[in-house]
Amino acid sequence: MPYIRAAGELKTKPTAAKHREIREIGLQPQVLLCRTEHPLDAELRQKLSMFCNVSPRGVIEARDVKHTIYENAIDAQ
């Protein structure tokens, strides 16, 4: 999910637009996995749930991490 530093907020519109495109091709997702730098609060989850027609429990946060296992594998070589 895009984070706008100047506004200090996550934007839901791009996520909702992509979800709409997926529904247009005939798929109805039951889970929305949101990759993000910042935590999703209850209000944001509810908003995504409403606009994407997914239950609030189906809106899952996938936080970015500073280091990945792939960086460690490259360092070991």
pLDDT band at 69 (very low <50, low <70, confident <90, very high): confident
Which pLDDT does position 74 carry in this prediction? 57
Instruction: Look up the pTM and report it.
Output: 0.72
How do residues 2-58 score in pLDDT, each as one tens digit? 888 888 888 888 888 998 999 999 999 899 999 998 899 999 999 999 988 999 999
CB atoms within 10 A of CB 24: 8
Which pLDDT does position 75 carry in this prediction? 57
